Structure 1
Amino acid sequence: MQLPAHQDAFPLSAQQGAVFTRNDQPLAAFARVRVPGNFDEARLGQVLVELQRRHEVLRTRYLRLDGLRRPVQVVEQEAPVPLQASADRETLEQVPFVAAVEKVGSDSFVVRLGVALASVDGQALQQLARELREGYAGRLAPVDEEALQYIDYASWQGELAGEDMGVRGGAYWRGVLDATAPRAPLPFERSRDALACGAEKTGLPGQKSLNVAQVQLAADALLQAVDACATERGLAADDLLLFLWAGLLCRLGEQNEVSLLVSVDGRNAQVDGMLGRFERQLPVNLAFPADASLAQALEEFRSRLEQARSWLECLDEVAIENPAARYGFAASVAVLDGVELELDDCMLAPLSLTRVAGDLHLHYATGSLEAEVAALWLEQFGVFAAHALGDFEQRLAQVSLLDEKGRARIQAFERGADMPLESPGALHRLFEQQVGRQGQRAAVRQGDEVLSYAQLDHRANQLAHALQAQGVGRDSIVAVYAPRSLAALVALLGILKAGGAYLPLDPDYPAERLGFMLADSGAHCLLALDAPAADIALPSGLPVLSLADASPVWQGPVEPLSAAVAGDDLAYVIYTSGSTGTPKGVAVSHANALASTLARFVHYRAPLESFLLLSSLSFDSSVAGLFWTLGQGGCLHLPTAAQAKDPQAIAALLGEHGISHYLALPGLHAEVLEHLGQHALRTVVVAGEACTPTLLARHHARLPGVLLSNEYGPTEGSVWCTAWNADQGPVAIGRPAPGMRVLVLDANREPVAVGQVGELYVAGPGVTRGYLARPALTAERFPTLADGSRGYQTGDLARWRADGQLEFLGRVDAQVKIRGFRIELGEVEAVLASCAGVTEAAVVVREGAGGAQLVAFVVGDDDGHLAGRLQAELARRLPAHMVPTALRSLARLPLMPNGKVDRRALAAETVAGQSYQAPQTELQRLLAGVWEEALGVERVGLQDNFFALGGHSLLATRLRARLQEQMGIELPLRLFFEGETLERFAAKVAELQQAPGNDLDALENLFAEVEAP
């Protein structure tokens, strides 16, 4: 708009400019003032007019003029009469100052005053309220007609900016703003961007502000201690309170520095009595070095704050581009009796602490935080501040956020439900109890093969007799070389009945790894369904017993045998990835496995009727399905290896057999949901990798009423330690399993408060014996806890929620989970480094279209074929889930300043495929487009490989379904597992399109040709 000819325009002050910069239109400030005396409307009107006459800000309007970036202020010589029928936002749009009588009493009345927020702050509103009372009582002091007005102050500010002091001050503030610490997300924030979550309309057209609420804490005793300590240390109480608030924010955000906006009063003696907006938003960066005491940090803070205040007049709040990146703190507020203030928040700080008399007020953005979380933080601030005040020689990390009340709360969270069930003493006796109750019921099924409980028991007894004849007894380890099958299940039970412990060997594992496991475990003998692969190095003299139907092991008696088994005896051994380059065997006792299994009976309550076992026997989650089912008289269903990888086949099995329970990786369950038709599911357990909110939503939409349980637990804790009955909301890993204890501890193994990140420890009867033949590692990872109990240090990071649920936050070390398998990156790196031609190696995890993927980087002699040779070598020495999906050769590994490998830089590196050859035919282009979309890559060439680009079995299944629907042909899943390039993949698809009837048997024969050299 254009400025009227008879009016002058004046620049805004920095404080006023910030109000307009952060909001499309001016915000409002209101005060409710109780005025003593009998109500006289005429007298009140005269007082209001007089106040408006002596203070120009009460006659100031704000205009946006054409060509100017900021609004200007215009002082009206004659303004409308302030006293109106109502003092609200709508009226304030028309006049610069408004007042309305709200309530009239016998000896007083209440007036509501309204002014544009750009004109006043809280102190100015209180001054206005005081002068209103004085004027109505006839005691208003005469005004100096030559006194400076707020526009004089604003003009002086503008002049200062161009002077030498202003230039130097501007440079100082630019340095402060450039050093703003990144705002770490605090525990349980719904969004890291508070503006995006909490911004909403607050009344004026086009105006936005955070929707702010507050919680309060009665803190009289604490604030008295703050006052006393501040006096002793020679600083203002508000400054000490600010320091403590910054300390808590650093603790909550797990960082050593924090940036705040501190609301301070910018008035001085020169503007005494001037009405206007003088409140400043002072940017302050505070640091708590890890090795510094609180006392040392406080001295540095005092120095920074003094320096900031010395440049206060040179601060331009408009330059604070993103105030939501900072936290807030306001100086103590002392409000006049009978006065209530209501001011819009213009600075958008998402979390701000204020002292009001003997209380603490925490203002928070409702879009990013729940009220109970804000209340928890305020409570924790009280505890933190009290402990900090008691000892300033502590380092920040040593200040506890727990008092007795907090410790009691955490202790209640740590302990699982009681275990009322009596243990039968040995794991296999759970099965034997069911044999006596329902021997003719089907116990296990695979395809058309079915064994009843009695038949399964007889077969296991026959094998147990044969094993005892071989000298198998307590703690003897018997290896089982067999896929998921009826024979393998019989073998496991037979070993347990003989008093031994089973060691599952997956035939798909590399021969080198299987040979290591046999030697490292000291296996007594080996049971094999098929002859072990010739390249497996069997220990000298190791007996190998066949599980084939014609084997002598099935010729023994079917009667039970007596084998003395104690709870501490070994039940099974599961090998997990090891950081030194070799896997380590976890020794699990009967008592451990029984505690884990009986806890399922208690937690899930309803008996299990049937279970689909998808897990490999080498994966500890198989134990859950095996003994949960056989211990409750259910039927265990075993898919074939091909079926277990195919979500469509899994969905068909669930429906065909009326499966009531199954356990799967979250990603696999998501795929199964896409194909599931009729079903009888009652419980789905997901475990092995992170569950996602998307899966929760899809599960509940597709399977309403079917329990989804998200389980967590390391092998060293016997399969599971916690479970969360997943519903809508933030994903958790739940509460401790019955009989177990789960602790979140700091580096000193002290419990941490709700919301704090710590390392997970598990304790209770599920904690295993340790690692085979590794006493030093066992002693390190299975420490004695503060209460004298034995625990396991998981290496996982977690925190307690206010509702007692645990949230999983990742790993302390370089261990990761890929599709449910626990992998030590160090083991993969050690194997890579041992390969010919490699001088350095590093492996990182990167999120791809199909989930987390391993990507390897090497430094060495690359003749153009190094990557291919290494992939082949890794495939020979490591299980498939540990072989990186992509490998890249570098001239050198990027390093951080401390000389360590910069893994973040590696994760950001692109991994190129083969030299690009564009698809030529229409079919090749179609398939390339499908691969590109699914794999999230920019382009796919003829020589690119599906798995090398980040694909995996679940993604292959999804692609197969899409191609079958799009092209109208049947594709065998094995097509994706032959390591084919896009060119050969397209060629085989073209052959399939020509196959008569697209018969699947014919198709499999076609692909047999691919395997030929």
Structure 2
Amino acid sequence: IVKFDLTLLMEKTESGIEARLEYNSDLFDQQTIIRMVGHFQTLLAGIVANPQAQVSRLPLLTAAERQQLLVEWNNTDSDYPQDKCVHQLFERQVEKTPDQVAVVFNGEQLTYKELNQRANQLAHHLLSLGVEPEVLVGICVERSIEMVVGLLGILKAGGAYVALDSNYPAERLSYILADSGVEMLLTQQQLLSSLPSHTARVVCLDSDWRTIEQHTQDNLELGVGSDNLAYAIYTSGSTGQPKGVLVEHKNVVRLFAATQSWYHFNANDVWTNFHSIAFDFSVWEIWGALFYGGRLVIVPYWISRDPQSFYDLLCSENVTVLNQTPSAFRQLIQVEQSNNTQAQLNLRLVIFGGEALDLQSLKPWFEQYGDKSPQLVNMYGITETTVHVTYRPLTINDLNSNGSAIGCPIPDLQMYILDENLQPVPIGVTGQMYVGGAGVTRGYLNREQLNNERFIPNPFNRKQESRLYKTGDLARYLPNGDIEYKGRIDNQVKIRGFRIELGEIEAILGQHPAVGETLVVARKDQADQKHLVAYIVSEQEQELTSSQLRQFLKQKLPDYMIPSAFAFLKKLPLTPNGKIDRHALLELDTSNRPQEAGFVSHRNSFELQLSQIWCNLLNVHPVGVKDNFFDLGGHSLLAVRLMARIKQQFGTDLPLASLFTEPTIENQASLLVNATESQSYSPLVAINKVGNLPPFFCVHPVGGNVLCYAELAGYLGDNQPFYGLQSPGLFGESEPLTGIEDMASCYIEALQTIQPVGPYYLGGWSLGGIIAWEMAQQLSAAGEDVALLALIDSYSPVAIDRPEQVDEQMLASSLAKDLGSVFGTELSIAVEELKQGGLEEQLQHILREAKGLNILPPEIGIEQMRKLFGVFQANLMAMYRYQPQPYSGRIALFFARELEAEDRGWNELAVGGLETYRIPGDHYTMMRSPDVEILAKQLELLVRE
């Protein structure tokens, strides 16, 4: 047993100095130590040979390891057709399979011959308008067959396409059009009104087609070569502006030639074009299909955002080659796990790219399908080196690894992992990745200085034109030659496959007149998914809200670059060295957001439950019923999880499209009400279904609903299941119950569907405590164990003074006061105000006032108001009639500090004793922040005992 993890022992002997390494075998294997000894010997020899050298310049690698790293593991020279262009390889395939279906979209399809003919007509038209080699042509179209025709037409005319996503904000499109200097723009008639002002000549691929189709369908014979540009794709830039990457034909052609021996793409393959043409994964998808006679299925935008619909498309189209970011594939796995359909996938390859892969996320997939068919492959890649750089087939054994293995360089590329002095680092040591070879692109458009920084001469290749691309990614070589990805070295992140320069977002935020300092970071949420958080220091005396900043950014940045949360600080925290303390920022809780003007809280049980789901999913508190899901940081992947949670909670499928059209809790609740009206009534409201603790059942107060328990449930935490019990009669055709005993019996029957046997934890606020008392009595009489009865500021009926007269006016006035008090809003309507009309007029008056204060949602009508009144009346009168009996179980009474009578009249009935806890506030505020947090902490202690 060694005392230390690693110890170097040196001893002077007659034959010289002898050294010995002792090491912890749990941390190091023998081969690592042998390499370490070699590094030490090389270092000592270097010191002797060059004693004046800086330590950082001294060699570490043995000659054998240097040969392995620089030559053996990078011996990837590969022949490929260096004289061919992208469109020429497509034309070669047209000759082979002219009648094979080439492209499919929404029921429309073209054969290879038909696609080639249309692209030729467009190319001749563009040629007549002045397009030639090295001319950049913009293309901004929706997903369609015209999109593929447009790309091919530009290439055939000799031009290079500049990819513009029609969903980008106008300001970003405007910048790309201006920076690229395109003189021609291909688009569609319906997009013209949404395009920014520009000077390019417009060709509409739909409305101008009659003119275009007058040209010949023959292939063009031009002088375009493989060294000419094929496309420019803009990626995020740290200066606040995106930068265009220039990619030549040969870069693309050699990518497929170098990988075909692995993948064997063929005419039987069916591919999806899932990604935007502004994302370079689309280059792999489109030409991977069309170079080899495959069928390309263009995925409609809405289907690409809905994993269930996309899964169905994969099955119905018999897709064989699927390319996905790991984030998107996780959603497909969830669909697969919850799917009841008999549809079968036909995949033979699943290729990952775009972001780091969490191997553990693949466990459910491997358990279902194994690791042979389909074959899963991880490919690290960068736009600047043409889509893909490495190749790593995945097996079920990879689940035993905690790292992110990205494999080896693909043939014709070299991968060097170097230190700050451009020297190779030893095996197992982290350094920065540099990529060389035929995939390295021309560089950035109009960014000479950046080109000199990122595209550098290759010190390991004597060819004058050989360059390396400095990736900014960290990695290390493993002993078997695999490369393990270790993250970014700079301020760049990848989220859901999109490469994002945090500095670009910071620069745009800094343009807002009210923003002083800002810092944007990527944080992981509870599901271990990355999201963006912006920390803002505003200028003095400037009012600033998240909504204002979100709207400001939406005008300038695509949705995936909008932070999901904004934290407003007086100043950014600094380290003792004066640098921004990022660790301190990550420890700040960004889930709590201040309520902004127009905030409306939940107003019925559906909105309450949805609020809890949104809060947990988005990690944002509080959430208003009129808040926009996407403005709170939601995105398409989270939208899928949201719909799954709704299905789990309510047993109802809501269409995903409904969230994109009206992304509010108010709208979702309305859809759920309509969907569940015909279903059988249950008083149970699952405010929080999850958690390992025994569930807590909390009975409604006199108003009948359980909205008042939202904050209490939230403060009890995600591990505490919390069920409300609301009155029959609020929804559907059921009538209110009129006796406390009947209510207790009904609620016991409901809660036992969740928890058939005790011990039970019961409670209730106000009237809810009285009903819970009777429930405890009935359960005890049936031999069940009631571990806790929590009375939250509940008065025993024997201590309540019943008014001499209970008429409709008094009840209506009390109902109004109760509605307002529950929401922290004064809705005080005196009895005198209600004497002018009958009950219908009184309820109409209350309804108008409540809607005006956003206490009740707009769709609530007089019929629902009658139900509220009926429940309120039934509950109040039942309380007056109830005669509680002594109870011997454990009772905890939480009473409001501002009122006297600490026992609330329960002492004589609590024969087993009464524990009392004083809570700040009054009868109503104790159920709202900040007082309810004190209540929750004390209640949590009792439940956990």
Report TM bin, short chain: 0.5 to 0.7
Contact 1:857-1:890 within 8 A present in 2 as well: yes
Cα shift at 1:781? 1.3
Question: Take 2:19 and 2:10, find their aligned partners in 1: how far apart are those partners?
Answer: 13
Contact 1:739-1:764 within 8 A present in 2 as well: yes
Q: Give the match's secondary structure for 2:563.
A: coil
Please point out which of 411, 419, 427 is paired with 2:70: 411
Q: Give the match's secondary structure for 2:274.
A: coil
| Greater mean deviation of Cα atoms: 699-708 or 860-869 | 860-869
- What is the letter of the counterpart of residue 386 of structure 2? S
2:867 aligned with 1:867: no
Please point out which of 509, 512, 516 is paired with 2:171: 512
Please point out which of 708, 713, 719 is paired with 2:376: 708
Cα distance 1:494–1:804, how it changes in 2: closer, same or farther (>3 A)? same
Structure 1 unmatched ranges of 5 or more:
1-209, 213-260, 262-322, 335-354, 998-1008
Cα shift at 1:968? 3.2
1:578-727 to 2 correspondence within 5 Å?
578-605=237-264, 607=266, 609-676=269-336, 678-704=344-370, 705=372, 706-727=374-395
1:377-392 to 2 correspondence within 5 Å?
377-388=36-47, 390-391=49-50
Question: Take 1:327 and 1:921, find their aligned partners in 2: how far apart are those partners?
Answer: 64
Q: Could you say which structure has the larger radius of gyration?
A: 1
- What is the letter of the counterpart of residue 421 of structure 2? N
Q: Give the match's secondary structure for 2:404.
A: coil
Please point out which of 523, 534, 545 is paired with 1:846: 523
Q: Deviations over 1:920-963 (max 9, x none)?
A: 53323322333344345677565665445543211211221332
Question: Take 1:793 and 1:605, find their aligned partners in 2: how far apart are those partners?
Answer: 31
Please point out which of 856, 859, 869 is paired with 2:534: 856
Cα shift at 1:415? 2.0
2:405 aligned with 1:756: no
Question: Take 1:601 and 1:548, find their aligned partners in 2: how far apart are those partners?
Answer: 39
1:6-85 to 2 correspondence within 5 Å?
none
Cα shift at 1:476? 0.9
Question: Take 1:549 and 1:439, find their aligned partners in 2: how far apart are those partners?
Answer: 26
- What is the letter of the counterpart of residue 702 of structure 1? Q
- What is the letter of the counterpart of residue 206 of structure 2? L
Contact 2:123-2:156 within 8 A present in 1 as well: yes
1:205-604 to 2 correspondence within 5 Å?
327-329=6-8, 360-366=20-26, 368-388=27-47, 390-391=49-50, 393-412=52-71, 414-415=73-74, 417-423=76-82, 425-534=84-193, 536-540=195-199, 542-548=201-207, 550-604=209-263
Question: Take 2:621 and 2:547, find their aligned partners in 1: how far apart are those partners?
Answer: 22
Q: Give the match's secondary structure for 1:759.
A: strand
Question: Take 1:362 and 1:918, find their aligned partners in 2: how far apart are those partners?
Answer: 64
Question: Take 1:908 and 1:774, find their aligned partners in 2: how far apart are those partners?
Answer: 37
Cα shift at 1:398? 3.2
Question: Take 1:445 and 1:992, find their aligned partners in 2: how far apart are those partners?
Answer: 35
Q: Give the match's secondary structure for 2:456.
A: coil
Cα distance 1:973–1:567, how it changes in 2: closer, same or farther (>3 A)? same
Question: Take 2:627 and 2:474, find their aligned partners in 1: how far apart are those partners?
Answer: 37
Q: With the length of structure 1 as denominator, give the TM-score of the two structures.
A: 0.61
Cα shift at 1:487? 0.5
Please point out which of 790, 793, 802 is paired with 2:479: 802
Cα distance 1:657–1:374, how it changes in 2: closer, same or farther (>3 A)? farther
Structure 2 unmatched ranges of 5 or more:
337-342, 681-857, 860-945
2:659 aligned with 1:976: yes
Q: Give the match's secondary structure for 1:931.
A: helix
* Structure 2 match to 1:924: 607
Cα distance 1:382–1:331, how it changes in 2: closer, same or farther (>3 A)? closer
- What is the letter of the counterpart of residue 493 of structure 1? L
Contact 1:762-1:792 within 8 A present in 2 as well: yes
Cα shift at 1:421? 4.1
1:731-880 to 2 correspondence within 5 Å?
731-786=404-459, 787-788=461-462, 789-850=466-527, 851-861=529-539, 864-880=543-559
Cα shift at 1:679? 1.5
Q: Give the match's secondary structure for 1:674.
A: helix
Cα distance 1:681–1:413, how it changes in 2: closer, same or farther (>3 A)? farther
Contact 1:673-1:702 within 8 A present in 2 as well: no
Contact 1:518-1:538 within 8 A present in 2 as well: no
Question: Take 1:873 and 1:495, find their aligned partners in 2: how far apart are those partners?
Answer: 35
Cα shift at 1:396? 4.2
Please point out which of 941, 960, 971 is paired with 2:643: 960
Question: Take 2:191 and 2:627, find their aligned partners in 1: how far apart are those partners?
Answer: 34
2:589 aligned with 1:913: no
Contact 1:572-1:589 within 8 A present in 2 as well: yes
Contact 1:602-1:738 within 8 A present in 2 as well: no
Q: Deviations over 1:600-649 (max 9, x none)?
A: 32332353611112111100110001111110111111111011112112
Aligned Cα RMSD in Å?
2.9
Question: Take 1:383 and 1:376, find their aligned partners in 2: how far apart are those partners?
Answer: 11
Question: Take 2:59 and 2:677, find their aligned partners in 1: how far apart are those partners?
Answer: 72
Q: With the length of structure 2 as denominator, give the TM-score of the two structures.
A: 0.65
Cα distance 1:361–1:780, how it changes in 2: closer, same or farther (>3 A)? closer
Contact 1:613-1:662 within 8 A present in 2 as well: no
Q: Deviations over 1:26-80 (max 9, x none)?
A: xxxxxxxxxxxxxxxxxxxxxxxxxxxxxxxxxxxxxxxxxxxxxxxxxxxxxxx
Contact 1:761-1:794 within 8 A present in 2 as well: yes
Question: Take 1:665 and 1:490, find their aligned partners in 2: how far apart are those partners?
Answer: 26
Cα shift at 1:776? 2.2
* Structure 2 match to 1:156: none
* Count of residues paired in the alignment: 657
Cα distance 1:403–1:416, how it changes in 2: closer, same or farther (>3 A)? closer
- What is the letter of the counterpart of residue 974 of structure 1? A
Contact 2:271-2:319 within 8 A present in 1 as well: yes
Question: Take 1:374 and 1:954, find their aligned partners in 2: how far apart are those partners?
Answer: 45
Q: Give the match's secondary structure for 1:701.
A: helix
Question: Take 1:625 and 1:466, find their aligned partners in 2: how far apart are those partners?
Answer: 27
1:87-236 to 2 correspondence within 5 Å?
none
- What is the letter of the counterpart of residue 967 of structure 1? F
Q: Give the match's secondary structure for 2:71.
A: helix
Question: Take 2:603 and 2:31, find their aligned partners in 1: how far apart are those partners?
Answer: 61
Q: Give the match's secondary structure for 1:733.
A: strand
Contact 1:914-1:944 within 8 A present in 2 as well: no
Q: Give the match's secondary structure for 2:313.
A: helix
Question: Take 2:605 and 2:45, find their aligned partners in 1: how far apart are those partners?
Answer: 73
* Structure 2 match to 1:285: none
- What is the letter of the counterpart of residue 108 of structure 2? E
Q: Deviations over 1:179-231 (max 9, x none)?
A: xxxxxxxxxxxxxxxxxxxxxxxxxxxxxxx7x8xxxxxxxxxxxxxxxxxxx
Contact 1:578-1:827 within 8 A present in 2 as well: yes
Cα distance 1:498–1:994, how it changes in 2: closer, same or farther (>3 A)? farther
Q: Deviations over 1:818-856 (max 9, x none)?
A: 111111111111100001211221111111135111111
